[in-house]
Chain A
Amino acid sequence: MTLSAQDATEQRQKKHVRDRWMLSAPALLLILAASVGPLLIVLVYSFLAPGNYGDVKWEFSTEGWFNVLFTRDIFDDTVSLADAHFSIFWRSVKLAFATTVFCLIFGFPTAYFIATRAPHNRSLWLFLITIPFWTNMLIRTFAIQEVIRSEGIINTLLLKIGIISAPIQMMFTDFAIMLGMTYVFLPLMVLPLYASLEKLDFRLIEAGYDLYASRFGVLWRIIIPLVKPGIIAGSILVFVPALSSYVVPRVLGGGKNLMVGNLIELQFGQGRNWPLGAALSVTLVIIVLFAMLYYVRNASKSGGSAHG
């Protein structure tokens, strides 16, 4: 190849890359301006002083971060741990974890059921899973409310049969939030589980039975280890939005059973403490980030072991 031909190839490659940057620029700019960029502003705001009527004063302060962990008594300035924040974070983690476990308990058999149907039937079953998923989340939350409220179908039914004499209070409890989140996020568990179950090599299971494994033995020692990446992916997909859930706890949990999302909103609304709200948001992002990191590390690990 002559020198000038080499130059020409290089030129063409450079142009190719430049064109590709031009093409992707609108998407990148829009996302940076209206999604990723504002996160940096949140980070900055967490280090400013609260303004009198919401917003902030432009002076450096660690008060926001201090308030995440501690509260200062209005009267005597004594400092104590911010129990309310801890209990809300703890409740969020607990509920998100319980939701993930319930989604797994119900979602795994469902995904397995779909994956073991005849190939031409699978897409129909998958479609049935995706329909509720694409139904507005607010509508689904509202639907759950219809089922569990005092005048809802469960209570009406139980009252009519005579099992209970007074309606059971299910709304505005942690149970209601968990039930609602399980209902809303279940498809997020089923879809990745299905994706890995579909690829399951049933010859390995046959080999297991040939070696006198029981049904449970095959499930526990062959199927579950093989679809571990799917289990982890589904768990993260459920855990992360459940942890930062806002609509479900607001509708089903009422004013008392807050989760982190509602706590953040409170600081930007009635609380008028934007730096605290910003610091809480950053804390939430950090927790989510750790969950993701855990996922990436484990996914790569189990990917390696599945190979061997």
Chain B
Amino acid sequence: MAKSFSIKRQPGFATIAMFCFFLLYLPIATLVVYAFNSGMSIATWEGFSLRWFQSAWNNQQVIEASWRSLRIASIAALIATACATLAAIATTRTAPYRGLTFKYSVINMPLLVPEIVTAVALLILFSRVKVWTGYSGLGYLIVAHAAFCIPFAYMPIRARLESMDLSLERAASDLYASPFQTFRYVTLPLLWPGILAGMMLAFVISLDDVVITEFVKSGGQDTLPTYMLGQLRRVVTPEMNAISTAFLVLSLAIVTLFFFLSRNPNKDNQ
């Protein structure tokens, strides 16, 4: 028998896995590296420079689209998280009741319907509403984003609620706390990391959305992703790399924070 026979080993698997990680990061790394290229070309390296970041920063359209993206994402994430928190409280730690499965399926529905179909469905609906009300602001985008962000915000909040210790809440009500007091002083502080995680997830999901935004937006309402999609049709300069890099750093910061917040929910209960 071979000296290091491990039952867990499968020949070649580690190599493929390494290759996979390499392939996952290679394109992103290239994108980031060439954002710092001083030349026009995306293929040849001509020296380090921040000129493309500067040019993106001075591009009025980019700045406007970024602000719009951030605005929509924060409002949509707030709405989605508020709705998801209430829904999570209503669907966890309760004896099964009529309609519980219905609630689960409705909340998860946005994940199942192909995005392009939701997009054209909203296009049809909102183009009618626009005619009726004459309103053509950012409200449509916010409502659409909030709706498809709910299941993403719901997941970490629900996970947190399910892993939470009920005895503290029982103790609170034994000590004559009203249901509201129990929620305000016991449940909510414990739930807070889950809510924050849900909000961040919703924020990133909203920030990243291209398809639904592309169909729902009115003229002049480009978000950063739809602006980029429009630009990809033309000659692409490294300015796009710079925008992508900045966008990437923001998403990564949020996701890293999310990772630490949602890790091991029981740890800080002790």
The verdict on A8 contacting chain B, using a C-beta distance below 8 Å, is no
Provide the bound-state CA to CA distance between A242 and B65, in Å: 28
Name which of A75-83, A278-286, A298-306 contacts chain B: A278-286
The verdict on A110 contacting chain B, using a C-beta distance below 8 Å, is yes
25 CB contacts below 8 A, A to B, read A20-B97, A23-B89, A24-B87, A27-B86, A34-B143, A39-B117, A109-B10, A113-B14, A123-B263, A128-B21, A131-B255, A134-B208, A136-B208, A138-B208, A139-B31, A144-B27, A146-B30, A152-B42, A183-B24, A246-B211, A247-B210, A251-B229, A251-B232, A268-B215, A288-B112
Q: Is the CB of A147 within 8 A of B30?
A: yes
A116's contact among B8, B44, B119, B207, by CB below 8 Å, is which?
B8
A247's contact among B31, B150, B229, by CB below 8 Å, is which?
B229
Q: Which residue of A lies closest to B125 (CB)?
A: A38
Q: Is the CB of B28 within 8 A of A30?
A: no
Within 8 A of A (CB), among B41-62: 41-44
B143 CB, min distance to chain A CBs, angstroms:
5
Provide the bound-state CA to CA distance between A300 and B21, in Å: 32
B262 CB, min distance to chain A CBs, angstroms:
11
Q: Is the CB of A45 within 8 A of B124?
A: yes
Q: Is the CB of A38 within 8 A of B94?
A: no
Q: Is the CB of B27 within 8 A of A240?
A: no
Apart from A109-B17, A134-B208, A138-B208, what 12 extra A-B contacts exist at CB < 8 Å?
Answer: A20-B97, A28-B87, A38-B118, A41-B121, A109-B16, A129-B21, A134-B255, A136-B207, A142-B228, A142-B240, A146-B241, A284-B117
Within 8 A of B (CB), among A184-217: 186-187, 202, 205-206, 209, 215
B111 CB, min distance to chain A CBs, angstroms:
10
Q: Is the CB of B210 within 8 A of A132?
A: no
Chain B residues lying within 8 Å of A70, measured Cβ to Cβ, are none
Chain A residues lying within 8 Å of B146, measured Cβ to Cβ, are 30, 34
Closest 9 CB pairs of A and B: A244-B114, A38-B121, A113-B17, A143-B27, A34-B147, A23-B90, A27-B87, A27-B83, A109-B16
B91's contact among A24, A26, A38, by CB below 8 Å, is which?
A24
Provide the bound-state CA to CA distance between A156 and B39, in Å: 16
Chain B residues lying within 8 Å of A153, measured Cβ to Cβ, are 30, 43
Q: Is the CB of A264 within 8 A of B7?
A: no
Q: Is the CB of B113 within 8 A of A39?
A: yes
Scoring A129, A136, A246 by chain B CB atoms within 10 A of each residue's CB, the highest score goes to: A136
Provide the bound-state CA to CA distance between A139 and B207, in Å: 12
Given the contacts A152-B43, A244-B116, A35 and B147 also touching, CB distance less than 8 Å: yes
Within 8 A of B (CB), among A130-180: 130-132, 134-140, 142-147, 151-153, 155-156
Given the contacts A27-B150, A41-B121, A109-B20, A134 and B251 also touching, CB distance less than 8 Å: yes
The verdict on B220 contacting chain A, using a C-beta distance below 8 Å, is no
Chain A residues lying within 8 Å of B26, measured Cβ to Cβ, are 147
Chain B residues lying within 8 Å of A109, measured Cβ to Cβ, are 10, 12-14, 16-17, 20
The verdict on A277 contacting chain B, using a C-beta distance below 8 Å, is yes
Q: Is the CB of B87 within 8 A of A35?
A: no
Chain A residues lying within 8 Å of B99, measured Cβ to Cβ, are 17, 21
The verdict on A241 contacting chain B, using a C-beta distance below 8 Å, is yes
Provide the bound-state CA to CA distance between A54 and B120, in Å: 13
Q: Is the CB of A26 within 8 A of B109?
A: no
B49 CB, min distance to chain A CBs, angstroms:
18
Provide the bound-state CA to CA distance between A27 and B122, in Å: 17
The verdict on B36 contacting chain A, using a C-beta distance below 8 Å, is no
Q: Is the CB of B117 within 8 A of A264?
A: yes
Within 8 A of B (CB), among A1-38: 16-17, 19-24, 26-28, 30-38
Q: Is the CB of A143 within 8 A of B30?
A: yes
The verdict on B123 contacting chain A, using a C-beta distance below 8 Å, is yes
The verdict on B107 contacting chain A, using a C-beta distance below 8 Å, is yes
Q: Is the CB of B117 within 8 A of A219?
A: no
Provide the bound-state CA to CA distance between A55 and B44, in Å: 48
The verdict on A88 contacting chain B, using a C-beta distance below 8 Å, is no
Within 8 A of B (CB), among A73-127: 106-107, 109-110, 112-114, 116, 123, 127
B251's contact among A19, A135, A215, A292, by CB below 8 Å, is which?
A135
